[in-house]
Amino acid sequence: MSNANQAASDAKLTYSVSMSLDGLIAGRRQSRRHPLGVHGELLHAWMRELSAWRKAAGLKGGITNASSKVILEEDTNVGALIMGRNMFGGGPGPWHTPPWNGWWGDDPPFHLPVFVLTHHPRDPLRCEGGTTFHFVTGGAAAALRLAKTTANGKDVAICGGAGVAKQYIEAGLVDEINIHLVPVFLGAGVRLFDSVLLSKVHLRQQRVIEAPGVTHLTYRSGPPEQSR
């Protein structure tokens, strides 16, 4: 095996998400105006007050607490990202003219190659700050291969949305899952863990970190049980 192939095989696929106590990762009625749905912003309030997050977003101020280390660790050793078409935005179906270029403006906060799963081909979108969106029509496995190759030995992170994360978790391809459990109830919205296929995925708890407004849960994930 070449050094490049070995590095790609050693890299982890990770997924981190903020979740309400009733298991929701976004509120109801998501839209361009409210991409996180009704009250979905409550899931990220713990993070937006951190100085580490604010600095990365180009903002000043903020606080430091037990969540700061968690946020910094999640961004360490990541070489590429994967997201779904819904998270990138622009609505379903073929791309419009001119095409939707994301929620984030000319300088998205990723600063990495981002592989977007879609059914509709499109040329790469190169942005300021080192972010390039690559649109992959070959499915989840193809996107993962491309991302791992591009990451050059670093980890690949799934940054949403729920449908894409489910595909990788159900297939047993996610090595590490980080749940940021927020003490709120949303009542209705996007639920992540609602597939019967997930019952075959093995999880091993790695750590629990309590912090103001959130509890951080880290699990190592294994492949689904083989049929007997």
Q: For each of the domains in the chain, give its residue range(s) and CATH number, in order of start.
A: 3-221 (3.40.430.10)
Give the pLDDT confidence score for residue 8 in this predicted structure. 54
Q: What is the pLDDT of residue 225?
A: 60
Q: Which residue has the higher pLDDT, 58 or 95?
A: 95
Residue 5: its pLDDT value, please? Answer: 53
pLDDT at 194 over 70: yes
Residue 36 φ/ψ, nearest 5 degrees:
-95, 5
**Do the beta carbons of residue 53 and residue 130 sit within 8 Å?**
no
142-165 per-residue burial string, b: 16 or more CB within 10 A, e: under 16: ebbebbbbbbebbbbbbbbbbebb
Averaged pLDDT for residues 70-89: 92
Average pLDDT (167-186) is: 95
Single pTM value for the model:
0.87
Q: Which residue has the higher pLDDT, 152 or 102?
A: 152
At residue 223, the pLDDT reads: 67
Distance, CA of 156 to CA of 79 (rounded, Å): 6
- Alpha-helical (H) ranges within the chain are 3-10, 45-48, 51-56, 66-75, 85-88, 140-151, 162-170
Mean pLDDT over each residue of the chain, to the nearest integer:
89
8 A C-beta contact, residue 113 and residue 147: yes
What is the structure's pLDDT at 67?
96
pLDDT at 63 over 50: yes
Question: Helices (H) and strands (E) in the chain — how many of each?
Answer: 7, 11
Q: Is the pLDDT of residue 198 over 80?
A: yes
Model confidence pLDDT, tens digit, residues 8-61:
556 899 999 999 999 999 888 877 777 778 888 999 999 999 999 888 778 899
Q: pLDDT over 70 for what percent of the chain?
A: 93
